[in-house]
Amino acid sequence: MSEPLRLEIILGTVRPVRFGPVVADWFFRQAANDPRFDIGLIDLAEFSLPSDLTMDSDGAQAFQQRIAAADVIVAVTPEYNHSTSGALKDAFDLLKREWRAKPVGFVAYGGLSGGLRAVEHLRQIVAELHMVSVREQVSFHQAKKQFDESGETANGPAIDAVGRMLNQLDWWGRHLRDARSGDPYPG
């Protein structure tokens, strides 16, 4: 077995009262059971990324280093006003080369749509950044009703989707990591 892929999970909400940590922590626990990945969690609320998209802060530089070292990205996104959060959009906009030729998956949550509209907007953003968006995604409709007090869910489709998404991220991650090391991406 090759060296595990570095998977960075980005929690894409910074609101003081937010449900995102429940979803992100659950996904982290699911992915942590997969030996193909070495996993980190980036909570954007802890990085204080600049809204003017400059790299002058310690938070921006730490974020840049984590993304540069990542082989695979998973964005955990809420759906706000039929789209993703401004904080997650800013995080993607902050960097350029660090995202290129890396696979990305999505874990979305929200009300009736389960965050699916946020993911559709994110797919356009990551395509522009030269990332590879995997087809499989995890979605929680009426998310607050899907988790118990301990942060677990019995949502069978979401649980099944995690395995399929991790398989796709592993395949793309290994092939793109090898390609980037032998032949730098021309973007």
Determine whether 114 is exposed, middle or buried from the number of CB atoms within 10 Å of its CB (0-12, 13-18, 19+).
buried
**CB under 8 Å to 37, separation ≥6 — which residues?**
4, 5, 6, 7, 31, 72, 166, 169, 170
State CA 48 to chain mean position distance.
17
pLDDT of 187 above 80:
no
Beta partners for 105?
74
Q: How confident is the model at residue 185 (pLDDT cuts 50, 70, 90)?
A: confident
Report the pLDDT averaged over residues 9-25.
Answer: 96
Half-sphere exposure of 170 (CA within 13 A, CB side): 16
Q: How confident is the model at residue 89 (pLDDT cuts 50, 70, 90)?
A: very high
**Average confidence score pLDDT of the chain:** 95
Give dist(CA 112, CA 101) in Å, integer.
33
The pTM for the full model equals 0.95
pLDDT of residue 56: 81
CATH ID of 5-182, from 3.40.50.360, 3.40.1190.20, 1.20.1090.10, 1.25.40.20: 3.40.50.360
The pLDDT of residue 6 is above 80: yes
Question: Phi/psi of residue 65, each to 5°?
Answer: -65, -40
Tokens representing 34? 């997969």
Task: Report the pLDDT value the prediction gives residue 55, as an integer from 0 to 100.
Answer: 81
Of the candidates 120, 111, 116, the residue with the CA atom closest to the CA atom of residue 141: 111
Which is more confident, 11 or 48? 11
Per-domain residue ranges of the chain: 5-182
Q: What's the mean pLDDT in 156-184?
A: 96
Q: What is the mean pLDDT of residues 26-32?
A: 98
How far, in Å, CA of 80 to CA of 121, rounded?
12
Return the pLDDT at 152. Answer: 98
Mean pLDDT of 101-116: 96
Reading the block at residue 148, the tokens are 């118990």
Q: Which residues contact 124 (CB under 8 A, 6 or more apart)?
A: none
Least confident of 19-23, 45-49, 70-74, 85-89: 45-49
pLDDT in tens, 36-69: 999 999 999 998 888 888 888 888 899 999 999 9
Q: Does 1 have pLDDT greater than 90?
A: no
